[in-house]
């Protein structure tokens, strides 16, 4: 929630600086997300006096102005605004200034051959309104040369994160109350003037949905003039991130943001008959103020008249009955809606609004009459008119809560000593009533306070969380037992190994859009869909880690990253055989873009390919303790992968440990990512545990005493034969002496028969106590050739 210092000071009498207030907000649990000074955006803009205005010699719609900036000789400025004229005063952006709305840096330039030293600015260009029909016109007494930010006045803007349990602070007044309780000033009482009803309300008001809308208050004001709201109100709304619209709309927004009390104003001429909160009928539709049409059902509360639905109650008004410039008579409405029902309706429709945020968390049920009086007061002061009597339908739930409190709990639960008198004073400043027996009355604006522990929190946060001493937890004597499970140890080991291989860790959401989840769904299994998602884009539990990693890669590639190397350790969510939730520990790797950039030595940039994915999969599986020497490379990586550039790694035909390869072009198209992109998914739950191994401790490193020996072999094999099958046979020919083998050449061409290929294998032999003799080397070589022959390989001459 955003608000300016000026707005805060309408409710809080204080001399504290913006920095002091920011520090105190954090100290009392209202987390500050930002503190900005709008005046900084106006640096370089000055009040300027237009001395002369002459037509541009080469453009009909441009003028050449001579402008006095209060310093030195007048400047020449080219301007296209129709209201630019000699004698006026406006705002000049000097060379070097940055235009707030588009971040364009002004500089001295030639426009149609005429030099221009800056720009005369409109309200929209300075982010001060929507007016762009002409440049800003200032009063004649505006001091020439004065910085515009200084002339306009500066008010820092706070951006505070209000947690869901604090609906009382969803208005500036609630924040002011907390700051006053913390000793940063004095809370000003609200000045509420009750407007007497000059005539009976001509509209029938009732509530036909006492559960969804227990209280519905209204009154008519006739003879209003809906013009532009006062500048002070527009400034406050703009600082809060709201766009000023018209006086009547701005007044309701000002009441909502200032006091946390949503309200609504209807054009009386657009209403027909009684105005009634009721349940919607299945299939009814309403066009909301966001110009979207929503289909309703009988679980939703609406505001309707005889003609039909006008409002989605407590969430958004309807387009049909909204006020306009020609509105002369209005119906003011202020109500209390059931918070749970507001939440369900908003989630069902996928509709969020400032009003919903407040009603869903719980507004003050005792603030109906005062809220309507304040709303009436503002309308009469700004728009004029004459108010009717108030009509009240129903009553808000005003169940008062009393909590039995023991002041010693502050020390026992809060860990800080606060005197009883100070505790009473803190609770009183926050609006609680405390009698002699410590029966604490909870104010109606604090629905979050339910028990004594909540009162402890209130006392401690206002007294000072920084005063709570840091006390270590009691420790049992002796060496602490390890608490990490074998699965946790495995994940930690893999996380370090992946980072050591140059991969960057990603943390993505477990919830993804349904369309992305369907693309990676496991064949034959339904998706897990949430009944109450955060948003429609986070409705499905991910069946794979790759959708989130693809989104992360796209964000980085779109921002100019040349190559992306990501890994993530997380959970996939599948359906078990009985339909229950099944979480599977998984390691995902995604490589996109350039593996090596272009260079004078290497020529063109080299992209990642399926072999890079396989190398990552094999290395990480080895770190996980999988028997990589026994793994079989087989197909079936899934429809998301390129069929000719992907495979699975298995122990036997059914136990799939990993899948890897290039992603299918249709997958990249679905996620709007430019390829090629290769990926790996390692299914950690499928890796067999080592028998008798309780941890991953390594044996001490003991380097061999003798140097290893390399021998090269070239075999003719069928062109379709996987090279991994040949390697597996070679490595197993003599396990006592062969420590490694790798393919270093794949040749097809002259000297090799059609349908064949020549695979060159480098074999590493490691002697033990003594160096090899020629006879031993020949015997090992014979074993290698014999093992290869079992795969149909023939040693090349």
Place of tokens 């606060």: 418
Q: Which residues contact 696 (CB under 8 A, 6 or more apart)?
A: 489, 490, 493, 625
Beta strands in 174-292 (DSSP E): 186-187, 215-222, 264-267, 276-279, 285-287
- Asked whether 622 and 628 are in contact (CB, 8 A), the reply is yes
CA-to-CA separations, 611 to 306, 618, 748, in angstroms, rounded? 70, 10, 19
Q: How far apart are CA 416 and CA 410, in angstroms?
A: 7
Q: How far apart are CA 428 and CA 187, in angstroms?
A: 12
- Asked whether 369 and 377 are in contact (CB, 8 A), the reply is no
CA-closest candidate to residue 85, choices 59, 61, 64, 113: 64
Q: Which residues contact 310 (CB under 8 A, 6 or more apart)?
A: 266, 271, 275, 286, 302, 303, 304, 317, 318, 320, 321
Pull the structure tokens for residue 464.
């000072």
Residue 523 assigned ligand-binding role: no
Residue 653 host element (H or E) = none
DSSP state of 686: G
Pull the structure tokens for residue 708.
């290893």
- Asked whether 306 and 279 are in contact (CB, 8 A), the reply is no
CA-closest candidate to residue 24, choices 228, 180, 195, 139: 180
Q: How far apart are CA 715 and CA 159, in angstroms?
A: 70
Pull the structure tokens for residue 515.
């369309």
**How many of the other CB atoms lie within 10 Å of CB of 148?**
24
Q: How far apart are CA 559 and CA 334, in angstroms?
A: 47
DSSP β-bridge partners for residue 35 = 158
Residue 448 assigned ligand-binding role: yes
Length of the chain: 797
Backbone φ and ψ of 613, nearest 5°: -65, -40
Q: How far apart are CA 135 and CA 308, in angstroms?
A: 44
Backbone φ and ψ of 137, nearest 5°: -110, 120
Residue 454 assigned ligand-binding role: yes
Residue 458 assigned ligand-binding role: yes
Pull the structure tokens for residue 356.
């919903």
Q: What are 469-472's contacts with CB under 8 Å, separation 24+?
A: 469/415, 469/416, 471/415
Place of tokens 């059902």: 297
3 state SS for 115-127: EECCEECCCCCCC
Q: How far apart are CA 659 and CA 638, in angstroms?
A: 8
Residue 378 host element (H or E) = helix 368-383
Q: How far apart are CA 654 and CA 418, in angstroms?
A: 66
Q: How far apart are CA 261 and CA 394, in angstroms?
A: 18
Pull the structure tokens for residue 537.
């884009």
HSE-up (13 A, CA, CB side) for residue 621: 29
- Which residues are annotated as part of the binding site for Mg(2+)? 448, 454, 457-458
- Which residues are annotated as part of the binding site? 448, 454, 457-458
């Amino acid at each position: 929630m955003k608000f300016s210092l000026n707005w805060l000071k309408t409710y809080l009498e204080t001399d504290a600086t913006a920095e002091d207030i920011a520090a105190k907000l954090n100290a009392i649990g209202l987390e500050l997300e930002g503190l900005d000074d709008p005046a900084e955006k106006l640096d370089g803009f000055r009040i300027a006096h237009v001395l002369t205005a002459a037509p541009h010699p080469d453009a009909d719609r441009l003028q050449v102005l001579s402008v006095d900036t209060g310093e030195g000789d007048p400047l020449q400025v080219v301007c296209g605004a129709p209201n630019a004229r000699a004698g006026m005063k406006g705002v000049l952006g000097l060379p070097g200034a940055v235009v707030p709305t588009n971040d364009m840096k002004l500089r001295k330039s030639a426009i149609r051959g005429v030099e221009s030293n800056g720009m005369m600015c409109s309200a929209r260009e300075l982010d001060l309104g929507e007016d762009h029909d002409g440049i800003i016109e200032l009063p004649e007494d505006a001091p020439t040369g004065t910085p515009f930010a200084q002339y306009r006045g500066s008010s820092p803007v706070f951006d505070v994160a209000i947690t869901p349990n604090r609906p009382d602070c969803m208005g500036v007044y609630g924040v002011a109350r907390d700051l006053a309780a913390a000793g940063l000033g004095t809370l000003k009482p609200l000045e509420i003037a009750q407007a007497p009803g000059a005539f009976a309300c001509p509209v029938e008001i009732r509530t036909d949905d006492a559960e969804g809308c227990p209280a519905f208050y209204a009154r008519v004001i006739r003879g209003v003039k809906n013009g532009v709201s006062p500048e002070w109100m527009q400034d406050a709304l703009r600082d809060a991130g709201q766009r000023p619209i018209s006086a009547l709309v701005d007044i309701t927004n000002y009441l909502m943001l200032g006091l946390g009390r949503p309200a609504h104003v209807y054009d009386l001429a657009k209403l027909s008959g009684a105005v009634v909160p009721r349940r919607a009928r299945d299939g009814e539709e309403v066009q909301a103020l966001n110009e979207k049409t929503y289909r309703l059902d009988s679980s939703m509360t609406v505001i309707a008249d005889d003609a039909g639905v006008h409002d989605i109650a407590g969430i958004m008004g309807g387009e049909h009955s909204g006020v306009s410039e020609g509105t002369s008579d209005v119906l003011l409405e202020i109500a209390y809606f059931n918070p749970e029902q507001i939440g369900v309706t908003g989630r069902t429709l996928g509709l969020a609004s400032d009003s919903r945020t407040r009603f869903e968390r719980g507004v003050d049920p005792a603030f109906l009459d005062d809220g309507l009086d304040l709303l009436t007061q503002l309308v009469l002061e700004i728009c004029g008119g004459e108010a009717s009597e108030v009509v009240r339908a129903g009553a808000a739930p005003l169940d008062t809560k009393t909590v039995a409190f023991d002041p010693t709990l502050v020390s026992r639960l809060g860990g800080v000593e606060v005197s009883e008198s100070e505790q009473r004073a803190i609770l009183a400043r926050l609006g609680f009533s405390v009698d002699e027996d410590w029966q604490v009355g909870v104010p109606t604006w604090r629905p979050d306070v339910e028990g004594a522990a909540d009162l402890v929190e209130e006392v401690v946060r206002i007294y000072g969380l920084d005063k709570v001493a840091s006390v270590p937890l009691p420790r049992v004597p002796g060496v602490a037992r390890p608490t990490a499970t074998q699965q946790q140890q495995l994940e930690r080991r893999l996380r370090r190994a992946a980072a050591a291989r140059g991969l960057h860790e990603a943390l993505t959401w477990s919830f993804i859009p349904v369309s992305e989840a369907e693309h990676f769904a496991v064949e034959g299994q339904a998706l897990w869909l949430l009944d109450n998602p955060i948003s429609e884009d986070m409705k499905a539990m991910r069946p794979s880690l790759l959708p989130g990693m693809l989104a992360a890669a796209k964000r980085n590639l779109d921002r100019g990253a040349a190559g992306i190397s990501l890994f993530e350790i997380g959970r996939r969510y599948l359906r078990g055989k009985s339909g229950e939730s099944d979480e599977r520990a998984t390691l995902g790797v995604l490589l996109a873009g350039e593996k090596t950039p272009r260079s004078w030595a290497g020529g063109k940039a080299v992209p990642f390919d399926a072999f890079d994915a396989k190398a990552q999969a094999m290395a990480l599986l080895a770190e996980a303790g999988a028997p990589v020497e026994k793994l079989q490379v087989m197909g079936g990586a899934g429809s998301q992968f390129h069929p000719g550039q992907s495979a699975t790694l298995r122990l036997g035909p059914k136990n799939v440990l990993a899948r890897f390869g290039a992603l299918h072009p249709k997958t990249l198209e679905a996620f709007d990512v430019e390829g090629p992109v290769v990926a790996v998914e390692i299914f950690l739950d499928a890796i067999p545990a080592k028998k008798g191994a309780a941890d991953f401790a390594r044996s001490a490193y003991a380097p061999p005493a003798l140097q290893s020996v390399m021998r090269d072999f070239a075999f003719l094999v069928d062109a379709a034969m996987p090279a991994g099958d040949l390697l597996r046979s070679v490595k197993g020919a003599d396990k006592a002496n062969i420590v490694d083998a790798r393919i270093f050449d794949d040749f097809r061409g002259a000297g090799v028969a059609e349908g064949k290929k020549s695979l060159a294998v480098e074999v590493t032999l490691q002697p033990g106590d003594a160096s090899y003799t020629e006879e031993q080397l020949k015997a090992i070589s014979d074993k290698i050739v014999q093992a290869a022959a079992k795969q149909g390989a023939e040693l090349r001459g």
